[in-house]
Amino acid sequence: MRALRVHELGEPKDVLRLEERPVPEPGPGQVVVRVLATAVNFPDALLCRGLYQEKPPLPFTPGVELCGEVVALGEGVTTVAEGDRVIGSPVLPLGSFAEYAPMDIGRVFPAPEALTDAEAAALFIGYQTGWFALHRRAALREGETVLVHAAAGGVGSAAVQLAKAAGARVIGVVGGEAKAEYARRLGADIVVDRHVEDFVTVVKEATDGRGADVVYDPVGGESYTRSTKCIAFEGRILVIGFASGTIPTPGLNHALVKNYSLLGLHWGLYNKRNPALVARCHEELTSLADRGLIKPAVSEVLSLEELPDGVQRLADGSTVGRLVATPHADR
């Protein structure tokens, strides 16, 4: 099989090499899937750079999210069958930037019939993150206002759709007109291009000075700092990640004075601490997809040869929407 491998850490376009490798064999409690589509995520770039919390030994294949067809079952696997179409996360160091990948059965879920392979590949991480953040952590209520940073990105676009599905009003912050148009198509009620507008002013005007009830922040840095200036009384700021590269140092006295909450989300921890809740979330996401309320907006479908450039562009912040690769399409 063909696979993209990293032999030394660095920028994705420089270190991802296409190679021929043996098709993996499933271990106990695992399956091997033929990768129908693999979504590109920011952690893939961090893996290439050696900056992700999980550091697989070199050489390794990135790719943390896929849609695949089960082709082999490991010992003890009884909940899926060969030929099933599934989504989930592969087992690093053999990630999904390859034609075949292994998966632990606990991270394997039925692919929603309402979604194409490319769409289904982009459902797992971003939408699970959004669902846990908005519903489990922030207890989002119908009619509330949600401010979503990086609303045209992977996790941000999922948050826009999930917040709208929950009956919230969404203000999306993006960088550039192309991303602004994309966020509008996702359903954001108000879109702020941070290159030409101040989102703090827009939020205050849109809420008659009250502020956003929930802030969904995968960016950190200045996005977080300025969000504290437009958070509502008893609002909730969701700390999702630090795509800006800057981890903010919040002034807790400010949270005390304004009566708002800071809520962290490490979604991957639920896979270890409460996997039943991850399965329940998948059922809810499947139902929302079946009803047409959510659908990953795939902007580009790449080949394995094109994938290093795609990962680099995502890392550089120049992509719009979800990038997906189809490893077998060019065979």
pLDDT digits over 33-50, tens only?
Answer: 999 999 999 999 999 999
Provide the token pair at 306: 């094109």
Predicted confidence at residue 244, as pLDDT, reads: 81
| Predicted local confidence at residue 245, as pLDDT | 81
- pLDDT digit string (tens) for 247-292? 888 888 898 889 999 999 999 899 999 999 999 999 999 999 999 9
Q: How far apart are the first and last CA of the chain?
A: 11
CB 189 within 8 A of CB 171: yes
Sheet with 145-149, strands from edge to edge, namely 190-193, 169-174, 145-149, 212-217, 231-239, 261-264
pLDDT of residue 330: 61
d(CA 164, CA 168): 5
Cα–Cα distance, 183 to 203 (Å, whole number): 16
Half-sphere exposure of residue 61, counting CA atoms within 13 Å on the CB side? Answer: 28
Residues of the chain with pLDDT under 70: 330-331
> Which pLDDT value is given to residue 331?
57
Contacts of residue 6, defined as CB under 8 A and 6 or more positions apart, other chains included, come to 15, 16, 17, 47, 48, 58, 59, 60, 61, 62
Scored b (16 or more CB within 10 A) or e, 24-56 reads bebeeebbbbbbbbbbbbbbbbbbbeeebeeeb
The model carries a pTM of 0.94
